[in-house]
């Protein structure tokens, strides 16, 4: 199972001074990756033609930017939003699971591991949810974590911290449904997994920054969150770390 991750950073529209970071991912069975890429190609072709289908990159911030929402209200429709709706319906129909952590804690919302000996809890919460999903639904498979490339320094520190966590901590060793070494890739190289991760991360970021147009897109995406019981508590595959009481 391939789990593709991306991140977004936003200011809250409802609470002045409040900011958030979101690290979110989408799971695609490795054997289905080619089929998913082909299906998404057809959706891109349907709305934007062959040039975009071949070479265009799906970017959530382009499909769902403020100008597009205003344009759709003025003209009654938008190719960008129609593609976004089709992508959401496809993700839901294929039952592709979505994971993530939305963090309002200022000291942890950059998703950069400064201390490679101690993995930030934002990453740990996401990995815990990926592992539980694998154990319940795919007990005979392993998850491979694929992150969007940021820069060499961030990648190096994050990779080292993640590997140390999986190989040297009791918590990490218990998450034995995940390959112990992360992978890094580039979305611009037509990596459809990372492009879909960018798309779902954008929707989640818009929702938790209180964007007024985000609700219908997020409500569709909610069907892709995995939920399991941990004792008396129901745990969602989307973890929210709230900061000050003023955070949404």
* pLDDT for res 243: 64
CA distances from residue 102 to 79, 81, 111, 121, 153 in whole angstroms, order as listed? 29, 24, 10, 12, 23
On the question of pLDDT at 211 being above 80, the answer is yes
Give the pLDDT confidence score for residue 151 in this predicted structure.
Answer: 75
Question: Does 29 have pLDDT greater than 50?
Answer: yes
Which residue has better confidence, 14 or 137?
A: 137
DSSP annotation string for 42-79:
HHHHHHHHHHHHHHPPP-HHHHT-HHHHHHHHHHS--H
User: 106 vs 191, which has greater pLDDT?
Assistant: 191
Q: Which of 40-44, 116-120, 244-248 has the lowest mean pLDDT?
A: 244-248
What is the model's pLDDT at position 120? 82
pLDDT of residue 229: 80
Between 27 and 111, name the one with better pLDDT.
Answer: 27
Q: Which whole number is the average pLDDT over 56-85?
A: 91
Q: What is the mean pLDDT of the chain?
A: 89
- Over residues 202-214, mean pLDDT: 94
**The pairing of beta strand 19-28 with beta strand 98-103:** antiparallel
More confident residue, 185 or 204: 204
Give pLDDT, residue 15: 83
**Which candidate, 181, 99, 168, 106, places its Cα nearest to that of 137?**
99
Least confident of 40-44, 89-93, 243-247: 243-247
Residue 248 is predicted with a pLDDT of: 39
- pLDDT on residue 150: 78
The Cα–Cα gap between 6 and 143 comes to: 16
What pLDDT is recorded for position 109? 65
The answer on pLDDT for 245 being more than 60 is no
Say what the pLDDT of residue 188 is.
67
The structural domains of the chain, ordered by start, are: 2-241 (3.30.420)
Helix H segments across the chain?
A: 33-55, 60-63, 66-75, 79-93, 121-137, 152-168, 170-174, 192-208, 215-221
Tokens of 190: 């037509």
pLDDT band with cut points at 50, 70 and 90 for residue 26: very high
Query: How much is the pTM?
Result: 0.91
Which pLDDT score is estimated for 156? Answer: 87
Give mean pLDDT, residues 196-210. 96
User: Is beta strand 144-148 parallel, antiparallel or unpaired with respect to 98-103?
Assistant: unpaired
* pLDDT more than 90, % of the chain: 63
């Amino acid at each position: 199972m391939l789990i593709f991750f991306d991140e977004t950073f936003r200011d809250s529209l409802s609470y002045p001074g409040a900011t958030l970071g979101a690290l979110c991912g989408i799971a695609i069975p490795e054997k289905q990756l080619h089929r998913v890429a082909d299906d998404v190609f057809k959706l891109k072709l349907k709305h934007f033609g062959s040039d975009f289908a071949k070479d265009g990159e799906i970017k959530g911030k382009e499909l769902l930017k403020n100008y597009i929402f205003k344009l759709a209200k003025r003209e009654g429709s938008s190719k960008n939003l129609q593609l976004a709706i089709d992508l959401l319906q496809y993700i839901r129909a294929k039952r592709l699971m979505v994971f993530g952590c939305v963090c309002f804690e200022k000291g942890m919302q950059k998703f950069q591991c400064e201390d490679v000996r101690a993995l930030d809890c934002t990453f740990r919460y996401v990995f815990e949810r990926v592992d539980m999903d694998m154990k319940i639904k795919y007990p005979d498979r392993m998850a491979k974590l694929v992150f969007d490339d940021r820069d060499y320094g961030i990648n190096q520190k994050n990779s080292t911290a993640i590997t140390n966590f999986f190989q040297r901590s009791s918590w990490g060793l218990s998450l034995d449904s995940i390959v112990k070494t992360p992978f890094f890739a580039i979305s611009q190289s037509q990596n459809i997994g990372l492009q879909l991760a960018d798309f779902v991360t954008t929707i989640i970021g818009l929702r938790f920054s209180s964007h007024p147009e985000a609700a219908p897109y997020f409500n569709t995406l909610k069907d892709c969150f995995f939920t399991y019981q941990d004792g008396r508590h129901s745990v969602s595959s989307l973890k929210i770390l709230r900061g000050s009481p003023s955070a949404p």
